[in-house]
Chain A
Amino acid sequence: MKKTLFDKVWDSHVVKSIKDGPDVLFIDRHMIHEVTSPVAFLGLKKRGLPVLYPERTFATADHNTPTINQHLPVSDPLSRNQLKALEENAKNHGISYWGLGHKKNGIVHVVGPEYGITQPGATIVCGDSHTSTHGAFGAIAFGIGTSEVEMVLSTQCIMQPKPKKMLITIDGSLNEGVTPKDVALFIISKLTTSGATGYFVEYAGEVFRDLSMEGRMTVCNLSIEMGARGGMVAPDQKTYEYIKEREFTPKGKEWDKAMIYWKTLYTDEGSIFDKELTFDGSEIDPMITFGTNPGMGMSITKAIPSAKDIEGGASTYAKSLAYMGFSEGESMIGKSIDYVFIGSCTNGRIEDFRAFASVIKGYKRASNVTAWLVPGSHKVLQAIKDEGLLEILENAEFKLREPGCSACLAMNEDKIPAGKYAVSTSNRNFEGRQGPGARTLLASPLVAAAAAITGKITDPRTLI
């Protein structure tokens, strides 16, 4: 029987299948953070249950952490309390904990791959929908709710029906100025935010083969924004080179043993998917969103579509444009912006800072722009310094903040004020996502950089 990459990993993790019900799926790696785990630990306590395999769970603080003065006590008492709860829960149950200030601290989906927790062929879950990021390594990785966090802590399993399978193939090559973020926003704009609901996606074709691991992570990260549970790319030489010698990857004989498994992780020729889509890499432009969900994206040079050209209800569309303060048919280029946010588990890795720096080098930050540059982890922060990017940023009047989720979800103080426009490299442009009333324009680090130095929406290709 021919199997897809997804089938191979899923099927080998099924402890038990329930008739007309879900599969009991074994979870290899579990990542937790302060926001979606405390109630799960409380549940364990109420039921008197231990953590079954504490060595399979990893805790980091990220969602709720300040991005300046991290050495000082967290000022918001609620956030402080939540961080403390994570620390205590991790300690009480023997779970490794990379809290605020720890040198391995960072956004959960950035540090997982950095330390080799993320491995091909693994099942990985976290109480965060962007867990799909780890699929870049050929893992099945997806977000779960807090009840499921409790399940994984107490039994290392969750119960889910096997999703349907979708194959997205993009061949050809990408044009200059087009980044992995644009590829993802392009796909989502074609599929809509619900187009892949119920599916698990495999990305294949030259474009994904050619992407770096960071680029694959960006694309897999955004799988959830088209409704998919997750997305994955078959592991290859690039994958193995990336993970080799990282702290939690197998070493020596164990590595050789793992390699035997990893080499089986590809989709057999002739396998059947429930849905297949094909695009050409050369049709993708730098993208930007104009509405209040990630499916409302378009080529940066185009005009905002009118309601009659899109799927879905006209009233919802009108509500969305009204929130953004935009009208149908307007061009996005030249619109004035107020904030730029570089960061998040989507575009907060070193490659993203390199891309940003490549555009702003030699320019100055526009005076009307407030820029928040937030590395995804301490490791990224260190690399920015080591590679000399910090100097480039500072010369252009940009300041670097400390790692965390920051304005991606605006749980800490990093909130975009009501009515202001933010060009953001994060993943969600929902109403209020970056602060009550904030207006988010999702884009790549290159588009964000072009906006940061010109103060308005600018095609980065005119600057590079």
Chain B
Amino acid sequence: MAYDSFKKLKSTVVPLPIENVDTDQIIPARFLKATERKGFGDNLFRDWRYNQDNTLKLDFVLNNPIYSGKILVGEHNFGSGSSREHAAWAVYDYGFRCVVSSFFADIFKNNCLNVGVLPVQVSSDFLKIIFQSVDQDPKTDLTVDLPSQKIMINSTGESEIFNINSYKKENMLNGYDDIDYLNNIKAEISNFASNTPL
């Protein structure tokens, strides 16, 4: 078991209404020098969170005490660019268990699923409603229910169903990962390998 299982999450959110947030922003390359998976949360959004002299950028949402919670709400094309899984680690290590957006970049989404962060893709309309609700009341909380694949704004009951393939859903619910699965079918793999042309 590689990470905590994910079933139902009820939490306030941190809103980040910026499009095309790339993984270099989520964690800049100079913080990728570790050989262990430790401390990446400290450098989540490093250059948006800190000035060059390491003082806090007070206008950045992570430095605003009004907002907190285990759900990060991003904009269209969240997680583009570099394949660094460190970005997903940083999101997880900081304390987020779920990222909501209207569109995710492929590799980031995959990495999230592999480390136990649930990427929830909602319609642009629903995303707008979430941002508006949080704007009006920063303590707005959401419920993300994986078994029923539903995301809901608790105060108003507005909700939407999200997609996840049943294999990944099973993994998230149980905290399994693909490595467990693949190691269980090694016989099939070596059989396949002996017949490959290259």
Chain A residues proximal to chain B, CB less than 8 Å? 13, 15-16, 18-22, 24, 26, 28-29, 35-36, 38-39, 42-43, 47, 49, 52-53, 63-64, 76, 78-79, 81-82, 85, 119, 121-122, 127-129, 143-148, 150-151, 154-161, 163, 193-194, 197-198, 224, 227, 229, 257-258, 261, 293, 295, 312-313, 315-316, 319, 409-411, 418, 428, 430-433, 436-437
Contact = CB atoms under 8 A, between A and B. Distances in A.
Interface in B34-69: 34-37, 47, 52
Contacts of A432: 24-25, 28, 47
A174 to B, nearest CB: 27
A122 B198 contact: yes
Contact of A147 (B33, B35, B177, B186): B177
Given A21-B168, A198-B106, A154 B182 contact: yes
B189 to A, nearest CB: 6
A157 B75 CA distance: 32
Given A20-B166, A147-B85, A198-B106, A193 B25 contact: no
30 contacts: A15-B189, A19-B166, A22-B168, A24-B185, A28-B196, A43-B179, A52-B190, A64-B33, A82-B34, A82-B35, A129-B83, A145-B83, A146-B85, A147-B2, A148-B178, A154-B179, A157-B182, A194-B80, A227-B105, A257-B197, A293-B20, A312-B19, A312-B76, A313-B19, A313-B75, A313-B76, A410-B29, A411-B29, A411-B32, A432-B47
Contact of A197 (B106, B196, B197): B106
A431 B47 CA distance: 9
A156 B114 contact: no
Contacts, number: 205
Contact of B179 (A16, A38, A76, A147): A147
Contacts of B30: 410-411
Nearest to B112: A145
B83 to A, nearest CB: 4
Given A194-B103, A430-B24, A21 B32 contact: no
A229 B106 contact: yes
A28 B52 contact: no
Nearest to B32: A35
Contacts of B110: 144-145, 148, 160
